[in-house]
Chains A and B, each alone.
Chain A
Amino acid sequence: MLNFPRGLYSDVRIEEVWSTSAGLVLGKLEQFVSRHYRAAFIRVWDGVRWYYASTSSVDSIQSELDSLAAMASPAEDILDDPVVRRLGCATGRSILFDAGHVAGVETSDKLAKLRSSAEPLERRAGLADSRCYYIDNNKRKTFLSSLGADLEFDRQTVLLVAAFEVAHGESRLREKCHVGAGTFADLPDLVPVLEERLDEAASFVRDSRPVDGGRMPVVLSPMAAGIFAHESFGHKSEADFMLGDESMLAEWAMGRRVGSEELNIVDDGTVSGPGYNAYDDEGTPSRRTWLVRDGLLAGRLHSASTAAALGEEPTGNARSISFEYEPIPRMTTTFILPGRETFDGLVSGIDDGLFVKTVNHGSGLSTFTLAPSMSYRIRGGRLAEPVGVSVITGDVMETLGLIDGLSGELDLRGAGGGGCGKMEQYPLPVGFGGPFVRVGAMEVR
Chain B
Amino acid sequence: MPGMTRERVVIGTRKTTARIAGSEVKSIRRSDVLQTGLRLYDGRNIGTAGAIGSFDPAELEKRALDSISCGIEYPWEIQGPAVRRETVSLKGIGHDTLAGEAGSFMAAMRSKWPDLVFSESFTVEDTGISIRNDRGLDLSTVLSSVAVVLTYRALGSTGIIDGWVSAGPCRRWDPDGIRAEFDEFLEAWHEPVDLPRSGRLPVVFGESSLPLNRLSLELSGHRYGTGTSLLAGCVGEKVFSEGFSLSQSRVPSIDDCSFFDAEGVFHEGYSLGLIGGGVLRAVCTDRRTAARFSLPHTGSASGGYDTIPQASADHLRVERSDRTLSELLGGEPAVYIALASGGDFTPEGAFATPVQLAMLHDGTRFVGRLPELRISSHLFRMFGDDWMGQSADDISAFYDSPSMVMRMDVEKAGD
Could you list which residues of chain A lie within 8 angstroms of chain B, going by C-beta atoms?
Answer: 22, 25-26, 28-35, 37-39, 49-59, 71, 107, 111, 128-129, 165, 167, 170-174, 235-236, 240-241, 243-245, 247-248, 251, 324-326, 360-363, 365-369, 371, 388, 390-391, 393, 423-424, 445
Contact = CB atoms under 8 A, between A and B. Distances in A.
Chain A, interface SS category: strand
Contacts of A51: 27-29
A360 B344 contact: yes
A107 to B, nearest CB: 7
Contacts of A248: 153, 155-158
Given A57-B54, A172-B347, A365 B159 contact: yes
B170 to A, nearest CB: 17
19 contacts: A32-B72, A35-B306, A38-B53, A50-B27, A52-B28, A54-B31, A56-B34, A57-B32, A57-B34, A170-B348, A173-B347, A361-B344, A365-B339, A365-B356, A367-B413, A391-B342, A391-B344, A391-B354, A445-B352
Contacts of A34: 49, 63, 67
B31 to A, nearest CB: 4
B200 interface: no
B10 to A, nearest CB: 12
A420 to B, nearest CB: 14
B21 A240 contact: yes
A326 B160 contact: no
B160 A365 contact: yes
Interface in B376-402: none
A39 B156 contact: no
Interface stretch (B220-228, B241-249, B260-268): B220-228
Most buried by A among B34, B153, B160: B160
B342 A371 contact: yes
Contacts of A56: 32-35, 52-53
Given A26-B226, A244-B21, A366-B158, A111 B70 contact: yes
Nearest to B356: A365
B186 to A, nearest CB: 17
A53 B53 contact: no
A324 to B, nearest CB: 5
A245 B33 contact: no
Contacts of A368: 342
A42 to B, nearest CB: 9
Given A172-B347, A326-B19, A391-B354, 11 more contacts: A29-B70, A30-B72, A31-B72, A33-B306, A49-B28, A111-B70, A243-B117, A251-B158, A369-B341, A423-B120, A423-B151
A107 B70 contact: yes
B276 interface: no
A390 B344 contact: yes
A37 B53 contact: yes
A236 B160 contact: yes
B42 to A, nearest CB: 15
Nearest to A43: B27
Contacts of B70: 22, 29, 32, 107, 111
A424 B73 contact: no
A68 to B, nearest CB: 8
Nearest to B159: A366
A360 B352 CA distance: 15
A243 B151 CA distance: 13
A128 B63 CA distance: 35
